[in-house]
Amino acid sequence: MLNYSTSEENYIKAIFHLQGEGSVNTNKLAAELKTRPASVTDMMKKLRDKKLVHYQAYKGFRLTTEGKKLALLIIRRHRLWEFFLAEKLRFSWDEVHEVAEDLEHVSSKKLVDKLDEYLGFPRFDPHGDPIPDANGKIEPTKQVCLTDLALNKPGIVCYVSDQSTEMLELLSHKNIGMGTRLEIKKRFQFDQSLEIRVKQQTETISEVLARNIYVKI
Amino acid sequence: MLNYSTSEENYIKAIFHLQGEGSVNTNKLAAELKTRPASVTDMMKKLRDKKLVHYQAYKGFRLTTEGKKLALLIIRRHRLWEFFLAEKLRFSWDEVHEVAEDLEHVSSKKLVDKLDEYLGFPRFDPHGDPIPDANGKIEPTKQVCLTDLALNKPGIVCYVSDQSTEMLELLSHKNIGMGTRLEIKKRFQFDQSLEIRVKQQTETISEVLARNIYVKI
DNA sequence: GCATTTTTTTAGGTTTGTCTAAAAATATAT
DNA sequence: ATATATTTTTAGACAAACCTAAAAAAATGC
Ligand SMILES: [Mn+2]
Ligand SMILES: [Mn+2]
Ligand SMILES: [Mn+2]
Ligand SMILES: [Mn+2]
């Protein structure tokens, strides 16, 4: 595997993430990377020449097999460092991302694989996202309804089936959004309501609400 | 402390190291960094504007107080990472430098200080070089060159001044590493070579090699 | 002291990654 | 279908960090 610049790696990773939610275009990628559409076009030409993305002017773009492989390697590094920071250095889980954003670009293969081994081959980062193994293989994440989440097992909110204003208002009042990490602390038999831990706070969720929330585990 | 580029940091560190052995000039620094004199001049102007070096055209240069502080911070990061790689990830002591060369540029203050704490505030890196503390303070080490060690007096290897692969290969062949305990058994007047006792074995050390080995007594 | 050599700087150019402004292509709405 | 709006690309510029070749300054040798 060749060596790529920090910038190239950040583009590849961003395309990979956007690809998960449909087609990737110039403006979306520019927004994601906080850069300008013109810069994206420039980079897409370069990444196309390096055979990391399929790209034709005006036709959008997506990663090649090689590009996907690279993306998974960068994500592997990122999430392993996040795990290290949280587990070993006792960073809180909302502080790890920024630092991992830099560490992920240190490219020594031996460093990454030894780190993985040292950490005991963890399968999920502190946000609950799966860590690709040395071959770039990712454990398929299971998505379960909040009503089915086990006690004291972290889940990441990834989908809400009702997206009415009323629903979203209630969610934001309880500090819950897409990507929010939560844990069920208590499940009351009487009304199936839940007491959950979210962002260092405790909230109560009715069964009706819980039925509409899905989490990654 | 502001943020500096990888390039600026490498220059600052190189000046610091060269400053230890006399005055620093354009050609020496270019050689040290494997770059061209013209590039050095460009960078010196920039570092002068950032008040990290004292510099006037044709008059050589040296670090300002601020520059020295930055150099010690970079060296702190470098040596802490080297310690981490050797101690936790079981890298051999001749593999750590290259990777630390990249890791040293990740600038999060919190990362460095937490890493220091996690490692138990080590005072020496795997090559026996002292690790600056969070205030940039370095422990003064009392050590003597192997050429000056008395006969039959034990010494602990704590530093090698040449850290090239060739040197490290020779040392490991002779079973000598950081922390190795040894004793000089005989000193030959003809070529100043030494016969030493190390790990129940006898080895011969040339004067050239001995000059590069330092021991704690 | 003056000529020669060495060191250092300047001048001008390249690559990478960014930007703004304008032009071109595509999508949308009546 | 055509006008309008949006998206994307091109053109041209800029800063960082490097380069080569030439000029200038400093050091050295006689
Ligand atoms: Mn990054
Ligand atoms: Mn994460
Ligand atoms: Mn470095
Ligand atoms: Mn070292």
Q: Which residues surround ligand 4, an ion (CB under 5 A)?
A: B 82, 125, 127, 129
DSSP assignment of A44-84 equals HHHHHHTTSEEE-TTS-EEE-HHHHHHHHHHHHHHHHHHHH
Distance of B32 CA from C11 C1′ (whole Å)? 25
Q: What does the pLDDT look like over B76-105, one tens digit per residue?
A: 999 999 999 999 999 988 899 999 999 999
* DSSP secondary structure, A138-198, as one string: -PPPPEEEGGGPPBT--EEEEEES---HHHHHHHHHTT--TT-EEEEEEE-TTT--EEEEE
Within 7 Å: CB of A117 and strand C? no
User: For residue A163, what pLDDT is reported?
Assistant: 67
Q: What is the DSSP string of B110-175?
A: HHHHHHHHHTT--SB-TTSPBPP-TTS--PPP-EEEGGGPPBT--EEEEEES---HHHHHHHHHTT
In a domain, B181, yes or no: yes
Give domain status of residue A130, yes or no.
Answer: no
Q: Confirm whether A85 is domain-assigned.
A: no
Give residue B77's identity as a one-letter amino acid code. Answer: R
For residues B112-125, average pLDDT? 96
Query: What CATH number is given to the structural domain containing A209?
Result: 2.30.30.90
Q: Which residues of A touch B88 (CB under 8 A)?
A: 118
A1, two tokens: 């595997």
* Dist. CA B28–CA B217, nearest whole Å: 33
Tokens 């070529």 sit at which residue? B191
Q: Using CA atoms, how far apart are residues B107 and A69, in angstroms rounded to an integer?
A: 28
Q: What is the DSSP string of A88-120?
A: TS---TTTHHHHHHHHTT---HHHHHHHHHHTT
pTM (two decimals): 0.79
Which residue's CA is nearest to the C1' of nucleotide D6?
A: A27
Query: Which residue's CA shows the smallest distance to C1' of D8?
Result: A58
Which residues, listed in sequence order, are joined to residue A144 by a DSSP beta bridge? A215
Distance from CA of A131 to the nearest CA of B (A): 19
Q: How far is the CA of B142 from the centre of ligand 3 (A)?
A: 28
**Per the domain annotation, does B70 fall within a domain?**
no
Measured CA to CA in angstroms, residue B2 lies from A183, B90, B113, B189 at distances of: 39, 33, 17, 55
Structure tokens at B200: 């129940």
Out of A95, A98, A108, the one facing B99 most closely (by C-beta) is A108
Percent of chain B clearing pLDDT 70 (strictly above): 100
- Is pLDDT above 80 for B141? no
Q: What is the extent of the structural domain holding B149?
A: 144-216
Q: Which of B63, B84, B108 is the last residue of a domain?
A: B63
**What is the rounded distance in angstroms from the CA atom of residue B68 to the CA atom of residue B132?**
12
Looking at A35, A63, A91, the residue that finishes a domain is A63
Q: Decide if A107 and B106 are in contact by the 8 Å CB cutoff.
A: no
Helix H or strand E segment including B26 = helix B26-32
In a domain, A58, yes or no: yes
Whether A209 is in a domain gets the answer yes
Residue B137 domain-assigned (yes or no): no
Q: Which of residues 36-65 of A touch strand C (CB under 7 A)?
A: 36, 38-39, 42-43, 46, 58
- C-alpha separations of B124 from A80, A115, B137 in Å: 27, 22, 13
What is the average per-residue pLDDT within B111-138? 94
Instruction: Tell me how crowded residue B217 is: count the other CB atoms within 10 A of its CB.
Output: 13
A88 contacts in B (CB within 8 Å)?
A: 118
Low-confidence stretches of chain A (pLDDT beneath 50): none
Nearest to B40 by CA among B54, B50, B29: B29
Nearest by CB to A114, from B91, B106, B107: name it: B91
Residue for token pair 């055209």: B57
The whole-number pLDDT of residue A115 equals 98
B38 touches strand D (CB under 7 A): yes
Task: Give chain A positions within 8 Å (CB) of B114.
Answer: 89-91
Residue B71: pLDDT band (50, 70, 90) is: very high
Task: State the distance between the two ends of chain A, measured CA to CA, in whole angstroms.
Answer: 31
Number of compact structural domains in chain B: 2
Residue A40 CB in 7 A reach of strand D: yes
Q: Which of A78, A167, A149 is nearest to A115 (CA)?
A: A78
pLDDT at A79: 96
Q: Separation of B10 CA from ligand 3 center, angstroms?
A: 5
How many angstroms away from the CA of B106 is the closest CA of chain A? 6
Q: Which of B15, B42, B63 is the last residue of a domain?
A: B63
CATH number at residue B35: 1.10.10.10
For A118, the closest of B88, B108, B114 (CB atoms) is: B88
- If we measure between CA atoms, which residue out of B78, B163, B70, B88 comes closest to residue B125? B78
Chain B residues contacting A, CB < 8 Å? 85, 88-91, 95, 98-99, 102-103, 106-108, 110-111, 114-115, 118
Q: Tokens 């990391």 label which residue?
A: A52
- Cβ neighbours for A185, distance < 8 A, ≥ 6 positions apart: A151, A152, A195, A196, A197, A202
For position B56, what pLDDT does the model report? 92
Give B51→chain A minimum CA distance, Å.
Answer: 26
Half-sphere exposure of A1 (CA within 13 A, CB side): 22
> What's the CA gap between B130 and B124, in Å, rounded?
4
Which candidate from B102, B108, B110 shows the least CB-CB separation from A106?
B102
Mutate to test the interface with B, among A3, A80, A106 (most CBs of B within 10 A): A106
pLDDT band of residue B162 (cuts 50, 70, 90) is confident
Q: How far is B175 from chain A (nearest CA, A)?
A: 24
The pLDDT score that the predictor gives to residue A162 is 74
Q: How many CB atoms lie within 10 A of CB B109?
A: 10
